[in-house]
Every structure is written in C-alpha cells, then in structure tokens.
Amino acid sequence: ERLSNHFQFIDVGRNDPDKKPLEARKTEYVEIYESYSSEQVAEQSHRCLECGNPYCEWKCPVHNFIPNWLKLVAEGNLFEAAELSHQTNTLPEVCGRVCPQDRLCEGACTLNDGFGAVTIGSSEKYITDTALAMGWRPDLSHVVATGKKVAIIGAGPAGLGCADVLTRAGVKAVVYDRYPEIGGLLTFGIPEFKLEKSVMVRRREVFEGMGIEFRLNTDVGTDVTMDELMAEYDAVFLGMGTYTYMRGGFPGENLPGVYEALPYLVGNVNNNLGFEQDADAFVNLKGKRVVVLGGGDTAMDCVRTAVRQQAEHVICAYRRDEENMPGSRREVKNAREEGVEFLFNRQPIEVVEYFGQACGVKMVETQLGEPDEGGRRRPEPIPGSEQVLEADAVIIAFGFQPSPPEWLADIGVELNDWRGIVAPEEQEFAFQTTNPKVFAGGDMVRGSDLVVTAIWEGRQAAEGILDYLEV
C-alpha cells in the first residue's frame, strides 16, 4: 500500500480541474474552472513526492507549507489543512485562483521532469473554499488583546495581509478604503472569469468575524485626513496600490475609441455588479473590432472581457515574442481558446483616425535586440515594416506607475526616483517608511506586481509593526 502511494505520480497523471464549455466561457462572467471533488483533490494532492527540500515552498512568495497541506487534504484532514494554509497566506483561495503558478510553486515542482507538476493552486483553492463552506473559521480563541490599534489604508491584498497578521497578534486593525467593497484590484480590476466577486464578499465576512473593522467608501485625504489617523492610531500601514496608467506616447492616443485598460475593466465589473457609476464609465464593445495593446495580465483580462461582450474580433498586439510576455501562460492559453488572436513583435506607432474617431493602429514589426537593465531583450523596430491594423476600439494596457498622494510629503514619507515609497524589507523594522510610525507594502512600494507578493509585503510589514510597537 505504501509503495503504491509513493508512486502515485506514475499511476495518476496531472489533472487540472475541468473547464466550463467554451460557449459558456465566451458569454458568461463566471469562473471558467470547475472545482475539484474530494476524490479528485485527494488523488491529485497525493501525487506530491514530499521532497526533502521542497522547491515549491521557496518559490512561493509567501512560503506556504505546500507538501504538508497537500498531505493533510490527501488524507481527508480538511480543517487542519485550512488552518495550516492560513498560517502563511491571508487569501489562499484567491492565490489558488490567480497566482501564475506555472512561474511560481508549480514551476518549481520536481514532477515537472516529465510527469507534470502537482496541481498546487487548484488544491489550495479547494482547501479553503471547501473548509469555509463547511463552516471552518480561523481559530483566534487564544489571541490576547494588546490594546494597540493600527490604521490600514487600502483593502487590497497588501492591506488585508497586514490586517490579518496584526489581528492574530491581538492588535486592532481598522481598514480604510475608498471603494464600497474590500479587495482592491481583486474586486475592482480582476474580472469574474478569474475570480468571482462572491469570494471577496465571503472573505470580508470571515475577516469581520476575526474582528477586523472595515471603513469602506472612505477616502483618506478627503473623508478623513492622515493627520487624524496619525493622532488616533499607534501606527499606520499604507497599501494603496499603483493607479497611474502608462501611456505609449504616440499620436492618436487621446482619440475617441481609445480606452485605458483599468477603467474599461472596472466599468464592466461595476455594470455586472450593479454598482453605481457614471453613464459613460461602461464601454460595451459588442460587434466591434478590438485591438488590445500590451502583454500582461491586464491585457489578457481586457481581451477576454471584450470576447464576453461579443466583440466581432479581438486582437492582442505585443511588442516582444510569446516567450517574453509578462502575463500568465495559462491565461494566454485560455484567451486563445476563447478566440483571441495574438500578434507578436508588433509595436504601435500611431492610432489612426477617420473623421475624428479611432479606426486602426499603425504598427511596426520588431525584432529582439540587446537585453535591457532588467535582463529582458529590448524590442527594436524593423524599418519599412509598418502596417495598419483596422480597429473600432483600441485598449491601452501598458501597465501602471505609482500614484502616491501629495499628503505623504507632509508626514515625511519619502519616495524613490520612480515615485515608489521607500520602505525596505531588510531593516530593523520591516517595511517601515521614513516616518517611523508609518509602514507600507504592495504595489505602491514594489511597483505593480502580483497578488501574492502584495500579501507577503503586507504580512511582513505587520511583523515590522509588531516589533516597532513591542507587542
């Protein structure tokens, strides 16, 4: 019996959860993956070899105890698996859905050598989804209140990670966000086909049950001032994300028919959820020929949203090759299945107009030249290769730059030369800013990155705050 268990990975191949039928995927705003059954998750998690030195744990940014909770769920100890999973991760069911596992935990799995990595992400999602549905809740009965309280600005993954760790250490966490629901980009950014919104609503209820207080619809800087927070709380954590859209700097970018990626996605989510918004915030691309410029997660979410809006044709144009795309490979594959066409090595040089309306994008072909500072090969235009791609709508998804509020200067919080907050991890108090009482983490410190890295920074900043408060 033990021997056959040990070779489970030979007898049982990697099996991802089933996907919904393509017809449904092209029209509905629901997650495309079905959930595992208890038999499937046991079979799949049992494939783990329990390596002596689990590379998956090192590659996972929050260093989850992956082989341990895989073993627990394989043996049917679901609640213990959920408890252990929450010791390192604040939002395991979210990471299981949206982490680019092929580049992180699963990319480091020993079974990649010919057998197919263990389905770590889907198992992580199963554990928390199922445990919560069965009534499991984090056990905080041993927590002793310290009497300290911390204000957290931003209910995105960084702020939530910070609030989680503080609460478990007996520090009162009060989270402020300008939006009507928690989650940051998880709610107002990432579309439902990757992460259904009910996941964050349930999470808010779990957090509230733990004692975290949310002050939503509250903009810090207008509804409440930073001075008031500094006076009222023992420390403040900033997890406000990055919201300045990068521009291409080419002619025609401001023409009608050209849209910024994030407002386009948020307008669609708000429309689906029935949240109030300005009439022109929702852009419907039904019947349109759409070109999305960019190759990251945001671009993938735009092309797949346009498909669901019944666009006539959707093209994603990216200036490097497929190998060098920053987005998750899984999502590129999903987009292709849903009918998106990809054009690689194409750089936009102008949005062309017809009677004042965008009608296409002039593109030049590129070839990859010398590596840039980040080690990625720079795309170089090939002279004479210009071509116009016809389009009724052009979506620009070139990424984000920091958007730190003016009031940071008033409290002596310094920025670096690309306007990220200076708050290093390696110092006496992790993620402390140049104002000793203020800590920061997530996209506003590291630049736009991943959900799981924002969670890690929020959690580590909480450790820094606990050290600073000497609790």
Query: Where along the sequence are the contacts to ligand FAD (CB under 6 A)?
Result: 98-99, 153-159, 176-179, 184-185, 189-190, 194, 219-221, 239-241, 262, 265, 297-298, 301, 405, 442-443, 448-452, 454
Which of ligand SF4, ligand FAD, none binds 138 (CB below 5-8 Å, type-dependent)? none
Q: Tell me: does residue 101 bind ligand SF4 (CB under 6 A).
A: yes
Which of ligand FAD, ligand SF4, none binds 89 (CB below 5-8 Å, type-dependent)? ligand SF4
Rule CB under 6 A: choose which of 31, 80, 93, 124 binds ligand SF4.
124
Which of ligand FAD, ligand SF4, none binds 129 (CB below 5-8 Å, type-dependent)? none
Q: Tell me: does residue 121 bind ligand SF4 (CB under 6 A).
A: yes
Distance of CA 167 to the CA centre of its chain: 23
Q: Which is nearer to ligand SF4, 85 or 305 (CB)?
A: 85
Q: What is the rounded CA–CA span in Å between residue 79 and residue 137?
A: 9
Which of ligand FAD, ligand SF4, none binds 170 (CB below 5-8 Å, type-dependent)? none
Q: Which is nearer to ligand FAD, 123 or 268 (CB)?
A: 268
Rule CB under 6 A: choose which of 48, 105, 226, 335 binds ligand SF4.
105
Rule CB under 6 A: choose which of 262, 325, 452, 462 binds ligand SF4.
452
Binding mask 396-415 for ligand SF4 (x = CB under 6 A): --------------------
3-state secondary structure the chain: CHHHHHCHHHHCCCCCCCECCHHHHCCCCCCCECCCCHHHHHHHHCCCCCCCCCHHHHHCCCCCCHHHHHHHHHCCCHHHHHHHHHHHCCCHHHHHHHCCCCCCCHHHCHHHCCCCCCCHHHHHHHHHHHHHHCCCCCCCCCCCCCCCEEEEECCCHHHHHHHHHHHHCCCEEEEECCCCCCCHHHCCCCCCCCCCCHHHHHHHHHHHHHCCEEECCCCECCCECHHHHHHHCCEEEECCCCCEECCCCCCCCCCCCEEEHHHHHHHHHHHHHCCCCCHHHCCCCCCCEEEEECCCHHHHHHHHHHHHCCCCEEEEECCCCHHHCCCCHHHHHHHHHCCCEEECCEEEEEEEEECCEEEEEEEEEEEEEEECCCCCEEEEECCCCCEEEECCEEEECCCEECCCCHHHHHHCCCECCCCCECCCCCCCCCCECCCCCEEECCHHHHCCCCHHHHHHHHHHHHHHHHHHHCC
Which of ligand SF4, ligand FAD, none binds 451 (CB below 5-8 Å, type-dependent)? ligand FAD
Which of ligand FAD, ligand SF4, none binds 64 (CB below 5-8 Å, type-dependent)? ligand SF4
Contacts of 58 (CB under 8 A, 6+ apart): 108
Q: Which is nearer to ligand SF4, 85 or 345 (CB)?
A: 85
Q: Which is nearer to ligand SF4, 60 or 262 (CB)?
A: 60
- How many Å is the maximal CA-CA distance in the chain? 74
Rule CB under 6 A: choose which of 32, 41, 48, 60 binds ligand SF4.
60
Rule CB under 6 A: choose which of 72, 82, 84, 99 binds ligand SF4.
99
Question: Hey, what amino acid is at 52?
Answer: G
> Least CB distance from residue 146 to ligand FAD, whole Å?
24
Q: Which stretch binds ligand SF4 (CB under 6 A): 100-108, 129-137, 159-167, 406-414?
A: 100-108
Which of ligand FAD, ligand SF4, none binds 449 (CB below 5-8 Å, type-dependent)? ligand FAD
Q: Residue 444: which of 244, 240, 262 has the closest Cα?
A: 240
Q: What is the rounded CA–CA span in Å between residue 8 and residue 11?
A: 5
Q: Which is nearer to ligand SF4, 121 or 161 (CB)?
A: 121
# chain residues binding ligand SF4, by CB under 6 A: 15
Q: Which is nearer to ligand SF4, 68 or 401 (CB)?
A: 68
Q: Tell me: does residue 64 bind ligand SF4 (CB under 6 A).
A: yes
Q: Tell me: does residue 108 bind ligand SF4 (CB under 6 A).
A: no
> Least CB distance from residue 11 to ligand SF4, whole Å?
24
Q: What is the rounded CA–CA span in Å between residue 83 and residue 435?
A: 35
Rule CB under 6 A: choose which of 32, 41, 48, 66 binds ligand SF4.
66
Q: Which stretch binds ligand SF4 (CB under 6 A): 120-128, 256-264, 272-280, 398-406?
A: 120-128
Q: Tell me: does residue 96 bind ligand SF4 (CB under 6 A).
A: yes
- Please name the residue that has the structure tokens 């009965």: 141
Q: Which is nearer to ligand SF4, 60 or 316 (CB)?
A: 60
> Least CB distance from residue 454 to ligand SF4, whole Å?
12
> Least CB distance from residue 261 to ligand FAD, whole Å?
7
Q: Residue 235: which of 147, 145, 151, 146 has the closest Cα?
A: 151
Question: Hey, what amino acid is at 72?
Answer: L
Binding site for ligand SF4 (CB under 6 A): 60, 62, 64, 66, 89, 95-96, 99, 101, 104-105, 120-121, 124, 452
